[in-house]
Structure 1
């Protein structure tokens, strides 16, 4: 019966902000593929099984094209935004591959590693400012948001002086409750800002990613100025929102695990730091609205027949907690666990392009912040922290801290 189909996304239990919803966990125990109901009344398939998610995300018969009938949009505003701003993450091959290759070399591990000293400089500078500033500090405003924002601005060639503007835009665009009209207006505002920047780069190219796209893609006719701008919108939003949320949410989680925080603070082993980053990505999994797709052919996943035109949602937060997929108890945080095979960055051809950058930034942050401020603590009880239940990307709206 349709009234027995649960609504997705589901509310997390009060007092358990780091864990998936109990209802989601219970649904996963029934089987790896189940129907759910979303905001528009449609009933896509929710994939909770770890292996089933990887199989679906790697299957060429599963489309990421938001324009296809049956695609399970995250919200009305998300539908409007995704269909308005075209980005390679919502394309299928061969179009996806062509556009992604334009950016691949900028995010290769060797190239990203060359940025590590500059990221370290940014992190240390922001910690210096926070230590010299008023207390309590807001770790989101004073540190977690500026770190990746500064990095992606320098990488792209976007003036950091405009960070208030694009952070405001991205925050509204990632809010599930905004109207479609507002989402479209903000999308246009951000796109027009970047179209002007593209024109400036065309007139006077610099040593940055946006200038390279202008020289190699715009001037050759491979992309229009709107397509370059839309690509930049994706990189700008994804490049700071996700990492910023992981910095703040990861710190909040570690403060609830003081023994593991102490070990991370005192270690000089970069392998342990890197391992802790992977475990926090697995344990927290900030993409809590799921990765959304639509079937283009009849397929079978987890023993369930999924018809062409039916939507699918891969719920990574529950896949990353599956018993047997990870050693030990995946419901617990363990910075020694080998968990790099998590699905926090997705899987298949659409897995996150910027994951080398995110990993490196988090490694620098987690190896520096707690060592520089060894007495860091929450300035309010955990129960008073406002978590981002209303946002497409999970985290905290603010994080008052003392030391």
Structure 2
């Protein structure tokens, strides 16, 4: 113990070393007499002189410390204590906030995983369609085909009356199914006539009607969950039937009616809460063994190269001017766009806004499967239910368009 006290510490000055040994002697921490300390430190004084100096230094330092403590005013002490208290509270708040965020993330992840687990359990009890036991071979060289439909609004039920109370339009789940089977028959007629082996299918969103506002509850035939499951089940069968005749690449975007808006929230508050993603996941799960279908990832913006034609597909709820949108998307993403595909307004509008060699730069706004509804009547822009099919040729872009009218 004595050796460790006597030894000079790292960073300790020579003077501080001498003082520390003298004070240790006074505090009886070392068992040496004053003459031994003088010899150890190589000092030039008498033992009595060193002892007196040590007592004097000890008293002086103690008095100086006490004086400093006495001179600190009560208000200064209070300020320092308050500051320390605030710092401690701040650290506690930071720690609590961190814990809350972690707990929120764990809860959200747990809910999501539970939802998908329960959904998977439901799907496992559903009868899988009889998928083709053969793979359709195709070679995409200089031309390819595209089928587009939009604004299905599955689950919506309505009747539109005219000026003399005549029935102008009607829509419900049964009418939707009839129109889709009619569309399939018309598409297969083109497939057979043109000997088509590959088809890009674009669902331009608003597959269900959703609940954007309380008034929508009056026109819903089904709730959100029933709508998304009913639509997804139907599309599994519909796409599976189509895949028996042609290889299908299926793409889907996200619409405003597909967006989940808890009551009281506004557009865009929950951008990732969109049932189109769940529907897409449903299709993937049910058709994963079908050799003639690829279900591509659901996105708000779908960018696809079709034999050299750069196609950007989106629902269209955020597009105020489609001509400007082509320019803005091209600038924002630094990508060529030859064709912008949209829906949303339930009527057809197409325009060429530029050219790239022999190829048009254009937008094509598509009609709806739903047809006339209360929204289109409000805008005074009505059009019959329909869908489109296009032929895309390398270097020329869209060369043919077939308009399918649906009763």
Q: Using CA pairs below 8 Å that are at least 6 residues apart, which structure has the higher relative contact order?
A: 1
Q: Normalising TM by the smaller chain, what interval?
A: under 0.3
Structure with more of its chain in helix, by fraction: 1
Structure with more of its chain in strand, by fraction: 2
TM-score (norm 1): 0.23
